[in-house]
Amino acid sequence: MHIDWWTLAFQTVNVLILIWILGRFFFRPVADIVAKRQAQAAQVLTEAAAVRRQAGAARADADKARAEINAERDRLIAEAMQAAQAEKVSLLVQAADEIAKLHGEAEAAIARDRSAAQQAIMTRASELAVEIARRLLGRLPPAAALSAFLVGLGGELRALPADARASFTSAVTGTHAIAVVTATPLSTAEMQQVGDALNAAGLELPLVFRSDPAVIAGIELHSPNMIVRNSWRADLDRIRKELDIGG
């Protein structure tokens, strides 16, 4: 086998020139392009990673904000429920107070109406009693009516306890006498009749006589310390007190 060294040398040179040309005008630009592409890809990846991190941070912020919003909503709902419950309790208390007030006012109004009705009844009863007393007295002889009241008055005097009787007479002095009060003025004979009846009852004291239509009928003895009465005024007063107690 014969080898042409010159041809081999030229071919070798050609190969080297080709390699240099490829390296100069092809491989280096391609390598630069690949490097740029890699750099751009790396930048893109870096930016994508940054975007992912930003998205993650934004998602975390959104989750945090949503949690805070939910917590704030729950707090506001709880406060609203608490305020509504407090307002409900306050309204119930106010309603109870108002009902109690109205109930008290109604009871007071009923009491006033009852008192007014009782007063009207008592006034009417007093008027009727006075009218009845006048009619009855008009039918009785004056002496008989006076004698009947004197008998009752003597019973009242004798029924007095010892200390009450002493109090009744102790204030009578030379300037203070027992006042004999009747509805109408008494005649001299009637005054004598009254004096004799009181003496018989053990009341021997100076007497003065005066009239008061409010007595209606009967006799009352007034001393500075107390009053002994046997009159229709006393009976009416007693009836009024009993009605007041009963009401």
Q: Which residues pair with 207 in a beta bridge?
A: 178
Rounded to an integer, what distance in angstroms lies between the CA atom of residue 228 and that of residue 219? Answer: 9
Residues in the chain: 247
For 225, list phi and psi in degrees, rounded to 5: -100, -30
| Mean pLDDT (whole number) for 155-179 | 79
pTM as predicted: 0.46
Express each pLDDT in 200-247 by its tens digit. 887 788 889 999 988 888 899 998 888 888 888 887 777 767 666 555
| Mean pLDDT (whole number) for 174-185 | 83
Query: What's the chain's average pLDDT?
Result: 77
**Rg, the chain, Cα only:** 64
**Residue 111 — pLDDT band, cuts 50, 70, 90?**
confident
Rounded to an integer, what distance in angstroms lies between the CA atom of residue 198 and that of residue 157? Answer: 9
Domain limits, the chain:
1-139, 141-246
